[in-house]
Homo-oligomer: A and B are copies of this chain.
Amino acid sequence: MSETNLQVLLRRRPEGAPVPEDFEIVERPVPEPAEGQVLVRARYLSLDPYMRGRMSDAKSYAKPVPLGAVMEGATVGEVVASRDPRFAPGDHVMGGQGWQRFCAVDAARLRRVDETVAPLSAWLGVLGMPGLTAWVGLEDIGQPKAGETVVVSAASGAVGQVVGQLAKARGARVVGIAGGAAKCDFVTGTLGFDACLDHRRPLDPQLDAACPDGVDVYWENVGGHVQAAVFPRLNDFGRMVMCGMIAQYNIAPGADAAGAPAGPNLGPVVRKRLRIQGFIVSDSGWGRYDAFLAEMRPLIAAGRMRWREDVVEGLDAAPRAFIGLLEGGNFGKLAVRIG
């Protein structure tokens, strides 16, 4: 095979916001699959906020990427060689092959994707980890009921898009929060949320207008001043689905530990019987993928589950695109097309 394997390595651990020099792009030989493995050529790489945690060696729920190793990440791609009977060349698969063009991967760690349901790239977003995250958090914690008000931060992002549309499908009134008029227009116009608030403008008057009956479910993707504005509006028995707090991922190494900004006083948690609960999709999510897909397929087929992707070209553009993601620079699910 005359092609080479382009890889993006973690060169050093960032202090605060990552910079391009924290990454290193190298060319390596294409690996050979061992028995039980397949060689996958990645077509799209997913870029997601959780990757910031993997760059740090602070204690977290997953091990950090070692210095000098390939950055972790999910891809969709094509089987080019197989030493496992379950896959043949040409099959399209999803898996966690990292920021690289080729990967020899255990067949058991791959999932086949069906392009009659949605195009290849969608299996990194609406039908990938972000979509599954939305579904698990609503199933286990948010549990929106018909008529309730659900507020979704980072509403135009990979997870937020799906959260809001799933909550709408369950009969809730859904209010998004996003950065800027273009994202807000997309959230209401294309995704069909009932309203979308711009977090770059004062949130309190916008929340007063959009949530006159308070908030029953708050989907937390961001933290910071958005959390501070929504928290006091939670109704009795309100649920706060703690999916992420991207606003502080760059604050300090182990950003969510010591030195992080203060949070809300928890007195109202008692008085209002609030439930604030965090989750990580990888704990139980993939074992429930079939139930997730069963709910998503008819919604997609009926046009009731839409999405927007923000696709950048080429693996060498991945570091800058990822840096932009942490600043809210993407518009829709961020992915890299690998040439």
Contact = CB atoms under 8 A, between A and B. Distances in A.
Interface string A238-280: 0000111100100000011110111111111111111111111
Interface in A36-82: 53, 60-61
A263 B260 contact: no
Given A257-B232, A275-B276, A276-B275, A242 B264 contact: no
What's the number of copies of this chain in the assembled complex?
2
A258 B229 CA distance: 12
Q: Could you say which interface size class chain A belongs to?
A: 35 or more
B276 A266 contact: yes
A236 interface: yes
A242 to B, nearest CB: 5
A164 interface: no
Nearest to A231: B266
Most chain-B CB neighbours within 10 Å: which of A223, A257, A276, A278? A278
A35 interface: no
A3 interface: no
Nearest to A251: B267
B267 A245 contact: yes
